Structure 1
């Protein structure tokens, strides 16, 4: 019979983070690629050593809110952290800090709404460059899935309809929690982080795009087949900005 670990016991932060992740993904977390984030490591460290985790909880809540994770899933995830130590529950002060960080991200999202591409409804490439820069600091920065649907010059009205169709296909395939953007000129990209292989969803993404552009005039305005490739995330924010510039069409 094992004895549940005490809060602030000698549990190694890395071991606690691994058990937290496994518990969350097995029960309440919707997308494995969204879970990993530097704030997770900070939160696990604070809890493992018995430090005050409120600041870490606030940062974690903000990070979850920024990628579109709901408040219920965010709270349940932290409950999995404490549950990984035994029959423990998150203290009310920790939950308040977590929710405050999440709410701050929601307030920021309202301001960031103007940073969206009006044709596709996706964020702009400047937004994606920032998110890729953040991912550079992670041990598993992930990959960019790059989609090119351009097929020559098209009428503005057709281009707008095509962009909207591709934006819907990306959100439908990867979910709103994945940072994604319209890069311009019929090129789009989505950041896939963590252990999830971006290639796994490419067939589904291709089907989602084909279904939405199957009728004229979108069919003739869309590359056939759609070009989809994956690119490693650079290791520095400066290189991330350069990558976005190279991928984008002026």
Structure 2
């Protein structure tokens, strides 16, 4: 009970977004397994499944999980991290399909959302007698390492969602393309090189924090993809890049 309350207090202060929905009996199962030196994997899987079924993103679930081990002063075993992600992924696969502009694994916008933002960019350029393919480009990031296991995909997406959010201003147009690939709409300005550098640093940092460096391409593959002349062709490009 004491461990659970310490965990809750710290996670609500630093990680958890909605304090009222944090507790579930799966929390008790995990703390009991941890204090009894039993296998953590079954309890971690159950907790991940519960988090996924209630709409908690994988990044928030992993952050909350890490807080428990901060409280006890140790690192979460990779086996338990994998079990948590597998449970979360299983819940997602069993959930009803709903249209959304947010990718649940990474917490980033979807390709459809980025297509809308591209339409705004092309429209603004046209109104100012500019060309979007001159003023903007797509910054593409590929961290795939060829393993499509659901838990690995979820952990990788969570790390990338956090890295991109940390490297770029809130609301910056971007999207998860699937399969470890991501696209960001960027201006062709003096700071483009700095954006690439910040992004690479954030990817490496978050991979280290989540102890999943082996799940990401190291170093990440990052390149500039020129925009086509029209919005329709830009949408076709995104569809081609989608995995």
TM-score by length of 1: 0.51
Q: Show structure 2 runs of 5+ residues with no match.
A: 1-98
Residues 145, 198 of structure 1: 8 Å contact kept? no
Query: Aligned residue for 1:127?
Result: 113
Q: CA deviation at 1:216?
A: 7.3
Q: Distance in 2 between matches of 1:193 and 1:201?
A: 10
Q: CA deviation at 1:114?
A: 2.9
Q: Distance in 1 between matches of 2:137 and 2:114?
A: 12
* Runs of 4+ more than 4 Å apart: none
Residues 199, 230 of structure 1: 8 Å contact kept? no
Confirm whether residue 115 of structure 1 aligns to residue 109 of structure 2. Answer: no
Give the SS at the match of 2:106: coil
Residues 105, 158 of structure 2: 8 Å contact kept? yes
Q: CA deviation at 1:183?
A: 0.7
Q: How is 1:20-35 mapped onto 2 (pairs within 5 angstroms)?
A: none
Confirm whether residue 192 of structure 1 aligns to residue 178 of structure 2. Answer: no
Q: CA deviation at 1:204?
A: 1.2
Q: CA deviation at 1:201?
A: 1.2
Match of 1:136 among 106, 111, 122: 122
Q: Distance in 1 between matches of 2:236 and 2:143?
A: 22
Residues 107, 158 of structure 2: 8 Å contact kept? yes
Query: Aligned residue for 1:6?
Result: none
Query: Aligned residue for 1:182?
Result: 176
Residues 196, 222 of structure 2: 8 Å contact kept? yes
Q: Distance in 1 between matches of 2:155 and 2:203?
A: 12
Q: How is 1:223-238 mapped onto 2 (pairs within 5 angstroms)?
A: 223-238=217-232
Q: Distance in 2 between matches of 1:239 and 1:151?
A: 29
Q: CA deviation at 1:196?
A: 4.6
Q: Show structure 1 runs of 5+ residues with no match.
A: 1-112
Q: CA deviation at 1:221?
A: 1.2
Q: How is 1:1-250 mapped onto 2 (pairs within 5 angstroms)?
A: 114-137=100-123, 138=125, 139=130, 141=132, 142-193=136-187, 195-214=189-208, 218-249=212-243
Residues 108, 175 of structure 2: 8 Å contact kept? yes
Q: Distance in 1 between matches of 2:109 and 2:100?
A: 9
Residues 202, 228 of structure 1: 8 Å contact kept? yes
TM-score by length of 2: 0.52
Residues 159, 210 of structure 2: 8 Å contact kept? no
